[in-house]
Structure 1
Amino acid sequence: MAGGTPLPYIRPMREHSRPLLVLHDCPSLDDHLEAAVGDRFRLIRPGGWRELNARVLEMAPSAVLLVDPSHGHAPDSGIAPELEELRGRFPSSCVVAAFSTSRFPPAGLRRLGQLGIAEVVDLDDDLVPTVLRQRILSARALPFHRLLRAPELNGLSGRGRAILDRAVDTVVTGGLPRDLADDLGLSPSTLLRWSESAQLPTPRRLVLWLRVILACALLDDPGHSVHSVGRACGYSGDHALRRAIRSVLPLSPSELRDRGAFRASTDAFFQVLAEHRRPAPAVGS
């Protein structure tokens, strides 16, 4: 922590059952959905695109949106303008599109890729609980997809990569450093040793960084205010979010937004990782 300042208070928000917001009218999808997700997800069914937007604004970043990309329009018309609008307001949201790929316009398929849709469920082939579950579980918030695939992480050891990957899932579901240890099946002291050997920040610092990066991704969403970002990410309010950011970055939320919050925070995080991997100076040099 910078200057001995205590780390900001984080409101407990661990969601072992992640919100799954379903905007779809396919009966056969409904038949398989509950069996597919079990108790891993809490099903929420908004009444339309407007309610879905409102729900996204208040939901934790662990939420997954399972939508018919043409909802409210003819299936062969392609992507609903409401989905385009939602992706414009909340580009960091995790969206899974469920539709019949054989009846969807090719231009619409290309556009789904451009919109950053996390996963696709093909209603012609994927309506088997095991396949449906795999599609939904593999959907991860787009910002962390980009983070984990960054070339700056290529130097991480296998152990370091495993810790970081699990830390991302822990943070997305509102977990704390002790939850990261539990998720890895380790004691806190063993996780600390593993982190040191993998040349990573301490688990406490790593979780703090990833929380800030997730908050920064939401700060880049035009549909989010600083207040809604703080609440969605588990902080007690604006002030706690600002303190969390200040503990790792010398910038305010508005300054981060001006610079591109996600890019600025990940660049700073990569610098921290590089410093941890830098060899210690030889004695007497």
Structure 2
Amino acid sequence: MAEKINKVTIIGSGPAGYTAAIYAARANLQPVMFAGGPTLEDAQRVPGGQLMITTEVENYPGFPQGITGPELMEHFQKQAERFGTVIHMENVVKVDLSKRPFFIQGESVSCYSETVIIATGASAKWLHIKGEDQFKNRGVSACATCDGAFYKNQDVLVVGGGDTAMEEATYLAKIVKSVTVVHRRDTLRASKVMQERALKNPKISFVWDSAVEEVVGNERGMTGAVVRNLKTGDARQVEATGLFVAIGHTPTTNLFQGVLEMHPSGYLKTVPGSTRTSLPGVFACGDVQDSYYRQAITAAGSGCMAAIDAERWLIEEGA
């Protein structure tokens, strides 16, 4: 059983977790972080969040020439460690938030903590089709805001029929030559406003009752996708250099089911204007509580907020 009680324990890493660690460490709160690692379900998972599978980041301030996702996260990690953050490169397997100090059980390390900052993020839902993994970051993406600029004046596909897909398609239409939306049904699930905006856009076309079943390309990247009509069974190859999967994200909140208040979509609820969750002393930042922006810069900003919220809460509690 762990004896030392941490002031702050951060579950998760990425821009949110590392920024929370930097701020907490500089406030002399001696944060401990469980940065995450591979799991049985996802052997490819690495600490650092979704940016670890992003080849080029051009929209993070301070890097005018751009930087790769892994390099950016390496900078974040080194900065957090520079100020004394203790980082365990492993997953948390169990938490007990029923009483203070809270108990956090990692794969090999456990601890007690006065406060907990949750930065476990969210992961994009993928199609799990042939060629998808092969062409990730070479045509296949799950974030138009992140990667759209790489496809200027090119033809791209968007998969999905909800608000996310319509937002991605409308955003891309400002940059690319054409957007083709592939949807499994003959009607959209998106809100009426988002539907109308996309349907009226002359650069956006729709392929109904269809699914992408394979991404094709060469050594330079994606060149197209095989699209099959689900009613007729007919398949054809559509030429495109980009495929944006917009079928939603899954927040990593399994540890907190039934313990913290969540939205129906599974994202953690926070008090508006803060990172406080439904449980005093527990804070959430980054994509685990943000289904709207989902950007590295907003995640980092909320990580800063979480550290400050935790520090002020500790002062109020006299801890």
TM-score by length of 1: 0.31
Structure with the larger strand share: 2
Structure with the larger helix share: 1
TM-score by length of 2: 0.29
State which structure, 1 or 2, has the greater radius of gyration over its C-alpha atoms. 2
